[in-house]
Structure 1
Amino acid sequence: MDERARIPVTLPRDNPTTSYWQDPPDASIADLRSTPVLPPTADTVIIGSGITGAATAWHLLQLNPLKSQSVVMLEARQACSGATGRNGGHTKAASYRSFPAHAAKYGVEMACQIARLELANILAVHAFARDHSIPCDLNACDTVDVVYDPVQWEEAKVSVAAMREALGEGDPAAEYALYSTDEMREKFYVHDGVFAGKTEKVCGGVGYFAGSISGYLFTVGVLKMCLDRGLNLQTGTPATELVRQQDGKWAINTPRGRIISNRVVLATNGYTAALVPEFQGVLVPFRGQITAHRPGTALPERGCLPTTYSFIYEKGYEYMVPRPKGSKFEGDIIMGGGLVRAPDDELDEFGTTDDTTLNETISKYLRDTTPRYFGPDWGEDDPAGRIRREWTGIMGHSPDGFPFVGEMPGRPGLWVSCSFQGHGMVLCWMSSKGLVEMMEGRDGDELASWFPSVFRVTKERLEQRFQGRL
């Protein structure tokens, strides 16, 4: 892992695999340059146009409805062409799976705060999409974790009980349902599976609130609202260097010129170390892979299943998002994960920023997941073929499994919100809100009441050694 973590992080690459969500890209915003030349100065420059960059711009511009500040956003490729536009669209926290580890290491109070923030993030994203009528295929629904590993099934029951006790009766963040093996088969159409000749039996399941959304369409909607409030978006404009000036301002160099800004926000996730050397070997890129399956002929509801899924087995998992009714390609099954099925326990997926290619071993595995998990309830493949699309995307992982949010130690005016562990749809929005509170000088008791201190970027966290995904 040390060798993979030392690979120099690059800027986003040209010609990435075509994401299911970006086919076609939004005609009005994908290649937008709000002005034909870069403005020479700005109050704030945001680097990155995914959900973190868009949310940060929105929260900043909301504070200045009369457009009294200038905000410029730089994007290396097309708008929202990074992880947000390439993920599975799952707004799912699965907080019970991490709660015991968080409680043991950071205390029960911190574990509760993290769980509440994750749920609050999901609810905030859903509410924003509804309130602003963003057409992003929002599907607020329950999810179910199908557990095939008996050890993890026992751990899940203990974790759910611990959350209920710690958070208190009636707390929405502790609302879970436990399902028996028979209930899982009857309610959710899942079956025992076979992998590498070994039968993996359904042990039980955990149900709770989650949902799905097109992260791409949602973020494009937020960006358009920001443009109406004065955001200057510059696509095809990678930031190549950050230089702090003698007067304390920042020079952001790009192939199209230089911008001088009072402050810079890095919403660059897995690519962050390409601009800030302190993150090399600490915030490590990690490539994920996803397939879109046409629904099998026997799948109930023609694939528009009422819940989303995760399939949890020894050492790994897949997640599954059925496309809801009324969406483009309704009934398609989005399946991501499968990384531990790759040779060398997914090691080659660390340290790479190459989203221009697929890992064929993972491709083969993911293509076969749906008939294996659903068995006879899958039926025959669609006459057009099982797989509609395959693509990859670059995530960012930290040594402790938390985001880095705040002002860089020793670098006044340089702010970051990055490293979301593939969990961005339940962390990015509220992390950006917390970041803007810090940037605007409202970093007090109110923020501390809901924003986990373990998310803040500190010198100590930057000195940690990355040893793999948590």
Structure 2
Amino acid sequence: MEALPGYPHPNPCLSFWLMGARNSPLIGHRTTDTLPEHADVTIIGSGLSGTAIAYFLLTGPNPPKRVVLLEAREACDGATARNGGHCRPEAFIDYAHYKHDFGKEQATKIIRNEFDTLDLVTEIIEKEGVDCDFWRGFSYAVATDQPSADTLAVLYQEFVNDGGNVEGIVEQILGPEAARRATRCANAFAAYKSPTGSLWPHKLVIHLLSLCIEKHGLNLQTHTPVRAVSSNSDGSWSVQTDRGVVRTDKVVYATNAFTATLLPEFLGHIWPFKGQCSVVVPPKAFSGTNMLQQTYGLVYEEDTALRADYMIQRQKDGLIIFGGRRGAASLDKLLGNTNDSEIYPEMSAALKKALPAFFEGWEEQVEGEGQLHVWSGIMGYTTEGVPYVGELHDKPGAFICAGHQGHGMARIMTCAKGVAQIIQGESWASTGLPECFQPTHERLAKPAGVHSHAEVVEKLEVVDV
């Protein structure tokens, strides 16, 4: 029997994003000194999922009067605050995997949803005037060896053969010479260019949280871990914390990797997976007018498995955010690991060595250039590689938005909007979300256990943390 994931570590390390937010007005924030006794909706978790659900509820039609958001640590202190700042729709790479599990129609819908998410993120940032260094442009998926080039070609062709839309969306750059010239990657064998975005994720969440608190009556309670949720005879829920109990009409689990602690039926269906990311000061050859103008998914074969590292160069200051290098640590070290207070030196060293090897002309670094800081984050993985979103089918009034596979920036905003719509009584069809995201009995009846599904972890996906 696998162990429950427990609770977020009490003393996490700081990411680059968190290091730049020590002036946040929400550090230690509690909207009221005491915990509210009653709520219309109680949301557990203050990352992008929980925050966006609160935002869409409170800014939508007929907003609930009493919305409480409970957070075990600081506001936005989990995976959202530790990702790579990459809001990258996967244009075709995961299509075959989704088709195998859910069929062509759902696979196509999953791909389309990621582009819808990028559009919705853009819309919300512009509508609310969020200062979060948002940038929208293009990304390269770069095959850095022949095996990965061959695999990407097969995946692309399968998507096209099934009627997948690539016109004006995906540009193929085939052949080593053309790929190296376009991407500046020394070992590029092929590249695929598609739309993407990047941002400072913590700033987005803090802005939306502050807006909801100041203008819409959100009650945010930090350092209030939820220990249990139980049903009441009248259909309401009792949310038990270290500071008291909130009796609520509806409860939302935006708990990602930690979901099974409160919902044991998700044990082995959503599990923690630890990743590491870094911030790098580039040399002059990648600074100023020589900055990289696209973000990257750097794909390679390692130990017969396809892997992908991810990278953005921030347009605001030229710093590079670079993460991945999973193969530098054993799978057993990463699967089920919820400790984001420490980093693995072997992964940090691998991240440090990788960029000079990937890019042509990465000159010798002077003091102050190179790897500046490394941090860890805990992702929530699922058996099929897609999240659980919607009302829990055997728990009326309980909802979930979790298990984002390290790919949450390309999924959460539309999922959160959909959950808010369902809470307000709208149908699943009205959300436009893929039906396969629903937390059905059939999904939870599938064999559970992270190690029996290690191939899911190894599948090719350009993740965010």
Contact 2:271 2:381 in 1 (8 A): yes
Contact 2:54 2:67 in 1 (8 A): yes
Query: Residue 310 of structure 2 corresponds to which residue in structure 1?
Result: 319
Q: Which amino acid aligns with 1:457?
A: P
User: Percent identity among equivalent residues?
Assistant: 30
Query: Residue 306 of structure 1 corresponds to which residue in structure 2?
Result: 293
- 1:186 equivalenced with 2:173 (yes/no): no
Contact 2:275 2:377 in 1 (8 A): yes
Counterpart-to-counterpart distance in 1, 2:234 and 2:167: 49
Query: Residue 195 of structure 1 corresponds to which residue in structure 2?
Result: none
1:146 is displaced (CA, Å) by 1.3
- 1:453 equivalenced with 2:435 (yes/no): yes
Deviations 1:435-464 (A, max 9, x none): 1222222115433xx211110001221233
- 1:390 equivalenced with 2:381 (yes/no): no
Give the direction of change, closer, same or farther, for the CA distance of 1:68–1:91 in structure 2 (3 Å limit): closer
Gaps of 5+ in 1: 193-201
Contact 1:303 1:323 in 2 (8 A): no
Counterpart-to-counterpart distance in 1, 2:260 and 2:342: 21
Counterpart-to-counterpart distance in 1, 2:111 and 2:99: 11
Query: Residue 366 of structure 1 corresponds to which residue in structure 2?
Result: 351
- 1:25 equivalenced with 2:22 (yes/no): yes
1:62 is displaced (CA, Å) by 1.8
Give the direction of change, closer, same or farther, for the CA distance of 1:169–1:429 in structure 2 (3 Å limit): closer
Deviations 1:391-434 (A, max 9, x none): 10110011111101122232221111100000000111111112
Counterpart-to-counterpart distance in 2, 1:445 and 1:94: 23
Query: Residue 36 of structure 1 corresponds to which residue in structure 2?
Result: 33
Query: Residue 321 of structure 2 corresponds to which residue in structure 1?
Result: 334
1:361 is displaced (CA, Å) by 1.3
Contact 1:122 1:426 in 2 (8 A): yes
Q: Which amino acid aligns with 1:412?
A: P
1:68 is displaced (CA, Å) by 4.9
Counterpart-to-counterpart distance in 2, 1:303 and 1:370: 16
- 1:229 equivalenced with 2:202 (yes/no): no
Deviations 1:272-311 (A, max 9, x none): 1111111122211011100111112322536732100111
Give the direction of change, closer, same or farther, for the CA distance of 1:317–1:439 in structure 2 (3 Å limit): same
Query: Residue 242 of structure 1 corresponds to which residue in structure 2?
Result: 229
Q: Which amino acid aligns with 2:26?
A: I
Q: Which amino acid aligns with 1:180?
A: G
Deviations 1:77-112 (A, max 9, x none): 111000001100001122311112222442222111
Contact 2:17 2:200 in 1 (8 A): yes
Counterpart-to-counterpart distance in 2, 1:13 and 1:168: 42
Give the direction of change, closer, same or farther, for the CA distance of 1:298–1:63 in structure 2 (3 Å limit): closer
- 1:81 equivalenced with 2:65 (yes/no): no
Alignment partner for residue 259 of structure 2, among 264, 272, 278?
272
Query: Equivalent residue of 1:141, what SS?
Result: strand
Counterpart-to-counterpart distance in 2, 1:223 and 1:191: 43
1:31 is displaced (CA, Å) by 1.8
1:385 is displaced (CA, Å) by 4.3
1:133 is displaced (CA, Å) by 1.4
Counterpart-to-counterpart distance in 2, 1:338 and 1:183: 26
Counterpart-to-counterpart distance in 1, 2:345 and 2:405: 23
Counting only pairs closer than 5 Å after superposition, residues 335-354 of structure 1 correspond to structure 2 as 335-343=322-330, 346-354=331-339
Counting only pairs closer than 5 Å after superposition, residues 139-178 of structure 1 correspond to structure 2 as 139-167=135-163, 174-178=169-173
Query: Equivalent residue of 2:396, what SS?
Result: coil
Contact 2:174 2:189 in 1 (8 A): no
Q: Which moved more, 1:54-63 or 1:434-443?
A: 434-443
Give the direction of change, closer, same or farther, for the CA distance of 1:434–1:68 in structure 2 (3 Å limit): closer
Give the direction of change, closer, same or farther, for the CA distance of 1:169–1:463 in structure 2 (3 Å limit): closer
Query: Residue 355 of structure 1 corresponds to which residue in structure 2?
Result: 340
Deviations 1:101-136 (A, max 9, x none): 222442222111111101110111122112221110
Query: Residue 463 of structure 2 corresponds to which residue in structure 1?
Result: none
1:164 is displaced (CA, Å) by 4.0
Counterpart-to-counterpart distance in 2, 1:356 and 1:181: 41
Query: Residue 115 of structure 1 corresponds to which residue in structure 2?
Result: 111
Query: Residue 197 of structure 2 corresponds to which residue in structure 1?
Result: 211
Query: Equivalent residue of 1:298, what SS?
Result: helix
Query: Residue 68 of structure 2 corresponds to which residue in structure 1?
Result: 72
Counterpart-to-counterpart distance in 2, 1:35 and 1:64: 25
Counterpart-to-counterpart distance in 1, 2:167 and 2:240: 48
Q: Which amino acid aligns with 2:430?
A: E
Query: Residue 196 of structure 1 corresponds to which residue in structure 2?
Result: none
Contact 1:179 1:207 in 2 (8 A): no
Query: Equivalent residue of 1:416, what SS?
Result: strand
Q: Which amino acid aligns with 1:219?
A: V
Q: Which moved more, 1:40-49 or 1:103-112?
A: 103-112
Counterpart-to-counterpart distance in 2, 1:180 and 1:140: 27
Contact 2:43 2:50 in 1 (8 A): yes
Counterpart-to-counterpart distance in 2, 1:168 and 1:411: 37
Deviations 1:196-226 (A, max 9, x none): xxxxxx2111111112111111111111221
Contact 1:295 1:382 in 2 (8 A): no
- 1:440 equivalenced with 2:436 (yes/no): no
1:240 is displaced (CA, Å) by 1.1
1:229 is displaced (CA, Å) by 1.0
Q: Which moved more, 1:117-126 or 1:179-188?
A: 179-188
Q: Which moved more, 1:88-97 or 1:297-306?
A: 297-306
Query: Residue 462 of structure 2 corresponds to which residue in structure 1?
Result: none
Give the direction of change, closer, same or farther, for the CA distance of 1:51–1:189 in structure 2 (3 Å limit): same
Counterpart-to-counterpart distance in 2, 1:89 and 1:130: 17
1:26 is displaced (CA, Å) by 4.3
- 1:9 equivalenced with 2:10 (yes/no): no
Deviations 1:322-364 (A, max 9, x none): 111xx3xx11111111112323xx2210111100000111111
Give the direction of change, closer, same or farther, for the CA distance of 1:424–1:379 in structure 2 (3 Å limit): same
Give the direction of change, closer, same or farther, for the CA distance of 1:415–1:292 in structure 2 (3 Å limit): same
1:255 is displaced (CA, Å) by 1.1
Counterpart-to-counterpart distance in 1, 2:428 and 2:61: 21
Counterpart-to-counterpart distance in 2, 1:13 and 1:385: 31
Query: Residue 445 of structure 2 corresponds to which residue in structure 1?
Result: 463
